[in-house]
Amino acid sequence: MKLRRHVLAWTAAASAALALGLPTAAQAQNYKSEYRVSLVVGTAFPWGKGAEIWANKVRERTNGRINFKLYPGVSLIQGDQTREFSALRQGVIDLAVGSTINWSPQVKQLNLFSLPFLMPDYAAIDALTQGEVGKEIFKTLDKAGVVPLAWGENGYRELTNSKRPVRTPEDLKGLKIRVVGSPLFIDTFTALGANPTQMSWADAQPAFASGAVDGQENPMSIFTAAKLQNVGQKNVTMWGYVADPLIFVVNKDIWNSWTPADREIVRQAAIEAGKDEIAIARKGLAEPGQPLLKDIAALGVNIVHLTPAEREAFVKTTRPVYNKWKPQVGTDLVNMAEKAIAARKK
Ligand code: X2X
């Protein structure tokens, strides 16, 4: 009799917990004491700050049931950022805040954002990530075996080098430029007459310092936090040729191991952290006068602003690359993106 009462009481407690969306004792036991979040750069960068905001919100809102630990430098995969997506799918990584560029070798649709000169301004990025295109890409990621939750942003990737100011494609001739992940970058820089070389971010910084490579392309928030002016990168060209969004994702098995209520907490926290992160990434760049550039110039860096005609020369030279890659990314998806950008609110 006594035992039966206990069982009844326990069952009642468990169903009350379930009704509230709280994990029962049995479910909570399946939770790991720590979940590993992969990212390329740490909390000195907007990217890392975004992950930190996500982790803090999740820890607070789950009363510590779900603890994220950040692994910057893609250290769970020895710095090889182009393997991040596979590792995430396989469960070597539990969660990630990752750049579309680093996952594009596995998910070809993500090359969309790397098509040269597709997105002329921040409103164009938003038109894609916050609209139908963003939903389409999330469906693709879901099919590829991960759970995408929210968008963030690394940013507009500007050109830097140690040799000379670059105003024309001719100025790029022969410069050895470090590029990331996707073969699309090799095509773009080859079309521009440069000498591109693919390298991880971990390997790139010593290569700048030793002069083994002349230049690179990355958002100015990365430039400042990594202090690229100290490794010879004294020339910047503001050309805004591509921008890489970040995506907050979870491994599918991990996602399924959480209660629906906890999943919702993790998703909502990712959406909020993504919004905050985008604001941090754009700080000093999106407002008139771009104050961040004044700070960078004060460090002895020469910043080239292209006239519309000068910029057009880069657009023209890279157009064959855009056309070659459009079907590889997916003609329908690129058409959808072009339409969304044309219809954007500026
Ligand atoms: O490696 C890069 O250039 C970086 C840090 O921007 C990315 O991970 C895409």
Counting the structural domains of the chain, the total is 2
Q: Specify whether 178 is located in the same domain as 217.
A: yes
Q: Specify whether 47 is located in the same domain as 125.
A: yes
- Which residue did the predictor score with more confidence, 214 or 26? 214
Task: Give me the percent of the chain exceeding a pLDDT of 90.
Answer: 90
Q: Using most ligand atoms within 8 A of CB, pick from 75, 82, 99 the residue to mutate for ligand 1.
A: 99
Q: Using most ligand atoms within 8 A of CB, pick from 77, 83, 102 the residue to mutate for ligand 1.
A: 102
Q: Is 179 in the pocket of ligand 1 (CB under 6 A)?
A: no
For residues 181 and 186, what is the distance between their CA atoms, to the nearest angstrom?
Answer: 9
Residue 76 pLDDT class (50, 70, 90 cuts): very high
Q: Specify whether 173 is located in the same domain as 311.
A: yes
Q: Which residue CA neighbors atom 2 of ligand 1 most closely?
A: 201
Q: Read off the CATH number of the domain in which 67 is found.
A: 3.40.190.170
Q: Specify whether 95 is located in the same domain as 172.
A: no
Locate the ligand 1 atom nearest the alpha carbon of residue 201 and give its number. Answer: 1
> Which 3 state secondary structure label does DSSP give 154?
strand
Mean pLDDT in residue range 198-220? 97
Q: How far is the CA of 296 from the centre of ligand 1 (A)?
A: 20
Q: How far is the CA of 201 from the centre of ligand 1 (A)?
A: 6
Q: Is 114 in the pocket of ligand 1 (CB under 6 A)?
A: no
> Which 3 state secondary structure label does DSSP give 106?
coil
Per residue in 107-138, pLDDT tens? Answer: 999 999 999 999 999 999 999 999 999 999 99
Q: Which of 275, 280, 304 is nearest to 161 (CA)?
A: 304
Q: How far is the CA of 40 from the centre of ligand 1 (A)?
A: 7
Per-residue pLDDT at 29 exceeds 90: no
Q: Is 113 in the pocket of ligand 1 (CB under 6 A)?
A: no
Residue 25, in any domain of the structure: no
Q: What is the pTM of this model?
A: 0.92
Q: Specify whether 69 is located in the same domain as 209.
A: no
- pLDDT (0 to 100) of residue 10: 46
Which structural domain range is residue 67 located in?
A: 33-154+245-282
Per residue in 262-296, pLDDT tens? Answer: 999 999 999 999 999 999 999 999 999 999 999 99
- pLDDT (0 to 100) of residue 7: 44
Q: Using most ligand atoms within 8 A of CB, pick from 104, 182, 184, 218 the residue to mutate for ligand 1.
A: 218
Q: Which residue CA neighbors atom 4 of ligand 1 most closely?
A: 201
Residue 308, in any domain of the structure: yes
Residue 346 pLDDT class (50, 70, 90 cuts): confident
Mean pLDDT in residue range 239-267? 98
Sequence-ordered strand ranges (E) for the chain: 35-38, 68-71, 95-99, 146-156, 158-161, 176-179, 195-198, 215-218, 235-238, 243-251, 302-305
Residue 339 pLDDT class (50, 70, 90 cuts): very high
Locate the ligand 1 atom nearest the alpha carbon of residue 101 and give its number. Answer: 9
What rounded mean pLDDT belongs to the chain?
Answer: 94
For residues 274 and 151, what is the distance between their CA atoms, to the nearest angstrom?
Answer: 6
Q: Specify whether 126 is located in the same domain as 250.
A: yes
Q: Specify whether 206 is located in the same domain as 92.
A: no
Q: Specify whether 52 is located in the same domain as 131.
A: yes
Phi then psi dihedrals of residue 246, to 5 deg: -110, 155
Mean pLDDT in residue range 325-339? 98
Q: Specify whether 223 is located in the same domain as 300.
A: yes
For residues 156 and 242, what is the distance between their CA atoms, to the nearest angstrom?
Answer: 6
Per-residue pLDDT at 221 exceeds 50: yes
Q: Specify whether 78 is located in the same domain as 96.
A: yes
Q: Specify whether 265 is located in the same domain as 301.
A: no
- pLDDT (0 to 100) of residue 3: 43
Q: Specify whether 120 is located in the same domain as 56.
A: yes
